[in-house]
Amino acid sequence: MPQSHTSENLCDFLKGVEKDWKLGGKIEAIVTDNAENMKAAVNLGGWKHVPCFAHTLNLVVTDSLKNNSKLNEILLRCRSLVTFFKKSSKANAQLKKMAKMANLNMTALKQEVATRWNSTVIMLRSIIILSDSIAAVLSLMKRTDLLLDDEELLIIKGAVAILEPFEDATKDLSSQCYPYLSKVIPMVHLLLCSMEVYLSAISEDDNFYFVCLELLKNDLEEKLKLRFEKVEDVPSKALTITYLDPRFKKAHFKRSGSAVENSLDRELRRVKSLRITRENLPKNVPSQISLSPASIFKNLHKETVRKTNEQRRGGENSTVNNILIIKEYNDWPLLDGVDPLQWWKNRQKGGVMLPVVQIVKRYFCIPAISVPSEQIFSKAGLIISKQRNALKPENADMLIFLNKNA
């Protein structure tokens, strides 16, 4: 896109993509990072904007780390320590030797990467594992000025323990190509719970150690709630999708248990309205009508099954119908470890839950993150090389598409 990346230009570009791929009226939502121009472009186009969960989680952690002055001082010392070992081949060789003598699996410190917050956790964890070997090498090389004291090591261990659930959430999202949006609300809830559990195990008598970690915990909690304060609002796609995930349903909702059922009721009414509209459209009369006993029996049976299931769902009464559907779905136990799409695929063979399948098809296509699409830029760099610099834009687009989808 050669034009300036203003919200208006981005909106025009997205509309062009919508037209080229014949997606008019089919886009349920657009997932982007939290850049203001991207959010404005999506809103200008009249689409629903969904913020990338991975990017938002990254902002929560990086902002919280920046706000903790004591932890920032320790991080600066940790970076200096790692830099020393990376630049000194002698110190690095001594560290590997000491680590092997101590039968440690890790023999080198991990470098922090500025654009990846979880690399901070990886760096701190490597310092914890190699702390004894590091102390021995620094003493030998007379660089005790780089040594971390006991309080600093305690704070590092505490910070890693608090941040580990965030790291696990990031890994879980990254391990899937397009993770379901239904994971957002449960993950936020579980992250908040994990910090409460950890901090309750620390004694307030630990003075500054406790204060530093409590500040980190409180900041993470505040920013999680701030960034995801509207995730349980009814217009939020995440609310309905989470409820329709048989692994979660309403288990992680804090305030929207009845609201989501009302939302589903409205969706079911919309589905029924569309079905009635289609049924009232003039139908093409087939050129040949099969009157074989087998086909007559099959059609009569199908009609009987349809009427029976409709009666079981409340017949023509939409309110009774939807109440029965929602009640039956709520009565199912939570199913751990199942693929929600596969579970709903089995429901589309027939039965009371059949109308909900259409809603699942509509909403479960929305991913929780925009990372896979951003990875296309890296893929494009590999395809459009110096040796292939004469590729036409349309051919490059097709090659990238095939590479990511074949």
pLDDT tens for 33-58 read 999 999 999 999 999 999 999 999 99
Q: pLDDT, tens digit, for every residue of 352-406?
A: 888 899 899 989 999 999 888 877 877 888 888 888 888 888 898 889 888 877 6
At residue 288, does pLDDT exceed 60? no
Q: How confident is the model at residue 348 (pLDDT cuts 50, 70, 90)?
A: confident
pLDDT at 229: 87
Of residues 114 and 246, more confidently modeled:
246
Q: Are 290 and 332 in contact (CB under 8 A)?
A: no
Q: Rounded distance, CA 100 to CA 107, Å?
A: 7
pLDDT at 30: 94
Pick the closest to residue 330 from 235, 230, 249, 238 (CA basis). Answer: 249
- 60-74, 126-140, 187-201, 270-284, range with the lowest pLDDT: 270-284
pLDDT at 208: 61
Q: pLDDT, tens digit, for every residue of 309-341?
A: 665 554 545 677 888 899 999 999 999 889 999
Q: Please compute, for residue 59, the number of CA atoms within 13 A of its CA located in the half-sphere on the CB side.
A: 16
pLDDT at 278: 60
Pick the closest to residue 54 from 165, 161, 192, 171 (CA basis). Answer: 171
Average pLDDT over residues 294-302: 69
Torsion of CA 23, 28, 34, 37, to 10 degrees: 50
Average pLDDT, the chain: 85
Please report, for residues 49, 232, 305, 307, the alpha-carbon distance to residue 239 in angstroms, rounded to integers and kept in the order given. Answer: 14, 5, 32, 32
Q: pLDDT, tens digit, for every residue of 3-17?
A: 899 999 999 999 999
Of residues 237 and 200, more confidently modeled:
237
Q: Amino acid identity of 202? A: I
At residue 285, does pLDDT exceed 50? no
- How do 30-32 and 49-51 pair as beta strands? parallel
